[in-house]
Amino acid sequence: MVKYPLIPSYVLADAETCARCCLCTLVCPIYEHTKDPSKTPPYYSKMLVKIANTRYAYIPRGKLSNILKEAINVYYCTLCGACITMCPFGILTPDIVLTVRENVYRIFRDAVPKPIIEVVKSLKEYGNPYKRKISLKSLKEKLCHGSASKKKSTLLYPGCTLSLFSWRTVENAAKLLLKAGISIEIPAEVKCCGFPALVSGDHKLFVDTVKENVNEWSKYDEVVFLCSECYKTFLEHYGEGESKVNASYIVDYLLKLIDEGVLKPSTKYVGEKVVIHDPCNYGRWLGRSNILEELLRKLQIPYVKPKLHGKYTYCCGFGGLLAFIDSKLALAISHRRLESLVKESTTIVSICPACVLSAGRSLKIGRIKAKALNIIDLAYEILK
Amino acid sequence: MEILPIVSIMRLSLLTFIALSILRIGKFLSTSKYSKGVRGLGGPKQIISELTIRGIPFIHSRFFRVMPAAYTLLVMYHATFFAILFFYPAHVSFICRALGLSYTSPLQLSPVFWDILTIANMVCIIAITLRGIIGKIRKTVVGYFKTPFDILNYAILILIPLTGYIAAHNASEIFLNIHIVLSCIYIAFLPYTPVFHAILGFIARGIKGWRLGW
């Protein structure tokens, strides 16, 4: 049976809008490091148009596999969206990339890179892309045992990256909310928000994950996300499911609690000024880089903004599963970002667990004397 | 006396333009089945998200900072193009004649002003074309002048203002007729030329808003 490409109309319209002016390549972190024109946003647009045209028999269907073989380059996009800020029309290249990946996965699975196949396999088996089971059972028993009889109204959703690589941050967030008198629940087994499935191109798996999550989350009065990427995925891609769940993000939640006077700074921050790293998901996609600054101001922590921040922030190299496909390239991008951050301060603060993880690894490998912190940990030290 | 029935040619080219536009835009709408999925926000949030992420076309502070020469060139080309197309008195009266309207250009300016605009427009399009030929990425990605269509496209884009400029300074009607015929051909096939991005940019946003709910 011939599998036809499936392309959302607005994404195709966007791809055909591209005038190939290539201004986006001036800010693309991938092009900056690879200098490969086939790994640039205009190339992805051209690719999607070619794939779409097979529906209308402009291109013989037999050629589709050849086109999709070339489309392998789209796995080298971090989906950071820097290109959008340079495009005269604001073309949403990440949507184009996701659509190409989805069609490659559907029609020509042999062309999908092996690491991506393994990620999907891991998502199906363990519910996360890291090929291992993530359990927060001990943390749940430690923190939620006393409130077993109470009505569980707030679910703390940590996301897989934070739970696996920085469970201490989850603990700190939970302690802060418990201190504020909020009855919380922590999932014993952490399941993915669906973003890796979406990014790998397995749309069916993503839809199933969304359904499962919405069913689970709608049982609670509210869900507090600890990961900015999970929260962005929820807001941008959960569609109708979004209206069924009352969700908020931990930084917004902490700000609300501080404003209401429920949480107050107990100690004063001692140390050098911190440099903020805005993740693409919050700084650019949701346009809300100001909340990190607001929290730092309320915690009376001196901070400095790097040259590229907010909407124009620079990628950490972790996005779009690039770290799974080409870890060296991801590391090089991360180094580039760290170079500019370390110039400002040796204490880097971010709200995205993936950015903190990526920065931490780069600092370690590059033997740079600096530290990357999650804002939750910093907030805990002052509010505990 | 007119050598060619230029008004009829213009009307025919406008009708062809409309028909081809429907065909090209209809292509996007035919992919609608899949676009509902679980993607997108829907509702007013979508519009806010669009504005936050995409911004207003051409207006990005970063654009000028990163590449001032290219930005100036592109803005100048687009500004002169639209100014000449929609405000040059001869164009306005001709378009109105083709559409059966009576209207005069609000900009009754000195011919020298229009000359300057036309020359600037020609310089910009030549510079943009050269940028495409010389630039490594654009050459690879876009494949400039790989097909006869590319050469034809840019040749017409340069010839239209050139013949128009000569026609404005020459009593002979040959250049005027060439200018009109070339323009009519370009307008007719515009939906399948790279210039259609000017319209597609807004259509892309429109379709997204419509599909995901306004």
CB atoms within 10 A of CB A37: 20
Burial letters for A203-222: b for 16+ Cβ neighbours within 10 Å, e otherwise?
bebbbebbeebbeebeebee
Q: Which of A19, A37, A236 sits opposite B194 (nearest CB)?
A: A19
Looking at CA atoms only, how far is residue A124 from chain B in angstroms?
19
Name the amino acid, one letter, at B84: I
B35 lies within 8 A of chain A by CB: yes
Contact partners, residue B192, CB within 8 Å, separation at least 6: B20, B24
Q: Check residues A230 and A244 and name the one with the higher pLDDT.
A: A230
Partners of A238 on chain B (C-beta within 8 Å) are 38
Cβ–Cβ of A37/B140 closer than 8 Å? yes
Identify the CA nearest to B16 among candidates B193, B212, B204.
B193
Cβ–Cβ of B31/A88 closer than 8 Å? no
Partners of B141 on chain A (C-beta within 8 Å) are 20, 22, 37-38, 40, 42-43, 46
Q: Which residue of A has its CA nearest to B37?
A: A239
Contacts 24+ apart (CB under 8 A), B47-56: B47/B209, B47/B214, B49/A236, B50/B205, B50/B208, B50/B209, B52/A286, B52/A287, B53/A81, B53/A84, B53/A90, B53/A92, B53/A284, B53/A285, B53/A287, B54/A84, B54/A89, B54/A90, B54/A91, B54/A92, B54/B205, B55/A85, B55/A90
**A139 within 8 A of A164, measured Cβ to Cβ:** no
Q: Give the range among A26-35, A343-352, B116-125, B130-139 with minimum mean pLDDT.
A: B130-139
Cβ–Cβ of A90/B40 closer than 8 Å? no
Partners of A38 on chain B (C-beta within 8 Å) are 140-141
Q: Average pLDDT of A90-115?
A: 86
**Collapsed DSSP state (helix, strand, coil) of residue B31:** coil
Looking at CA atoms only, how far is residue A180 from chain B in angstroms?
31
**A76 within 8 A of A34, measured Cβ to Cβ:** yes
Cβ–Cβ of B137/A31 closer than 8 Å? yes
Q: Average pLDDT of A282-288?
A: 80
**A275, HSE (Cβ side, Cα atoms, 13 Å):** 23
Q: Which of A18, A40, A207 sits opposite B137 (nearest CB)?
A: A40
Q: Average pLDDT of A340-363?
A: 90
What does pTM read for this prediction? 0.87
Distance CA B92, CA A265 (A): 68
| pLDDT number for residue A184 | 86
Give percent of chain B with pLDDT exceeding 90: 22
Q: Which residue of A has its CA nearest to B29?
A: A9
Which CATH number is correct for A9-111, 3.40.50, 1.10.1060, 2.50.20, 1.10.1740? Answer: 1.10.1060
B60 lies within 8 A of chain A by CB: yes
Radius of gyration in angstroms for the set of CA atoms belonging to chain B, rounded to a whole number: 20
Q: Is B181 a residue whose pLDDT tops 50?
A: yes
- Where do the H-state alpha helices sit in chain A? 9-17, 29-34, 41-53, 64-70, 93-107, 114-126, 137-144, 160-165, 167-179, 195-200, 203-217, 228-237, 241-244, 250-259, 290-298, 322-325, 327-342, 353-365, 375-383
| Token output for A165 | 């690589």
Distance CA A172, CA A379 (A): 9
Q: Which of A17, A27, A81 sits opposite B197 (nearest CB)?
A: A17
Pairing label, strands A347-350, A371-374:
parallel
Q: Most B CBs within 10 Å: which of A17, A95, A213, as the mutation test of the B interface?
A: A17
Q: Is B38 a residue whose pLDDT tops 50?
A: no
Distances (CA, A) of A195 to A129, A159, A213, A228: 10, 10, 12, 12
Looking at CA atoms only, how far is residue B182 from chain A in angstroms?
22
Q: Most B CBs within 10 Å: which of A10, A50, A70, A286, as the mutation test of the B interface?
A: A10
**A88 within 8 A of B64, measured Cβ to Cβ:** no
| E strand or H helix that includes residue B175 | helix B174-189
Distances (CA, A) of B210 to A12, B29, B198: 14, 11, 19
B130 lies within 8 A of chain A by CB: no
Rounded to the nearest 5°, which phi and psi values hold at B65? -65, -45
Q: Which residue of B has its CA nearest to A209?
A: B38
Banded model confidence at residue A376, pLDDT cuts 50, 70, 90: very high
Question: What are the beta bridge partners of residue A224?
Answer: A156, A248
Give percent of chain B with pLDDT exceeding 70: 73
Partners of B213 on chain A (C-beta within 8 Å) are none
Q: Which of A9, A81, A237 sits opposite B32 (nearest CB)?
A: A9
| pLDDT number for residue B118 | 92
Distance CA A80, CA A285 (A): 9
Distance CA A217, CA A210 (A): 10
Q: Is B44 a residue whose pLDDT tops 60?
A: no
**A132 within 8 A of A126, measured Cβ to Cβ:** yes
| Token output for B2 | 């007119």
The dihedral through the CA atoms of A61, B37, A311, A85 has a sign that is positive
Rounded to the nearest 5°, which phi and psi values hold at A366? -80, 0
Cβ–Cβ of A242/B53 closer than 8 Å? no
Q: Average pLDDT of B22-43?
A: 59
Cβ–Cβ of B136/A287 closer than 8 Å? no
**A231 within 8 A of A225, measured Cβ to Cβ:** yes
Q: Is B37 a residue whose pLDDT tops 50?
A: no
Q: Which residue of A has its CA nearest to B135?
A: A22
Banded model confidence at residue B32, pLDDT cuts 50, 70, 90: very low
**Collapsed DSSP state (helix, strand, coil) of residue A135:** strand
- Where do the H-state alpha helices sit in B2-134? 6-29, 44-54, 61-66, 68-87, 89-99, 111-134
Identify the CA nearest to A367 among candidates A342, A333, A330.
A342
Q: How many CB pairs under 8 A join A and B?
A: 148
Q: Average pLDDT of B90-118?
A: 82
A137-259 under CATH 2.30.29, yes or no: no
| pLDDT number for residue B18 | 93
Partners of A40 on chain B (C-beta within 8 Å) are 137, 141
**A284 within 8 A of A311, measured Cβ to Cβ:** yes
Q: What is the ipTM of this complex?
A: 0.79
Cβ–Cβ of A85/B62 closer than 8 Å? yes
Cβ–Cβ of A207/B67 closer than 8 Å? no
Identify the CA nearest to A37 among candidates A25, A49, A23, A27.
A25
Our measurement of the distance from residue A224's CA atom to the centroid of its chain's CA atoms, rounded to an integer in Å, reads: 16
Looking at CA atoms only, how far is residue A214 from chain B in angstroms?
12
**A237 within 8 A of A228, measured Cβ to Cβ:** no
Q: Is A287 a residue whose pLDDT tops 90?
A: no
CATH number of A274-383: 3.40.50
Q: Which of A18, A91, A239 sits opposite B40 (nearest CB)?
A: A239
The ranges assigned to domains in chain A are 9-111, 137-259, 274-383
Identify the CA nearest to A39 among candidates A4, A84, A87, A78.
A78
Distance CA A186, CA A205 (A): 24
Q: Which of B54, B62, B137 sits opposite A22 (nearest CB)?
A: B137
| pLDDT number for residue B45 | 58
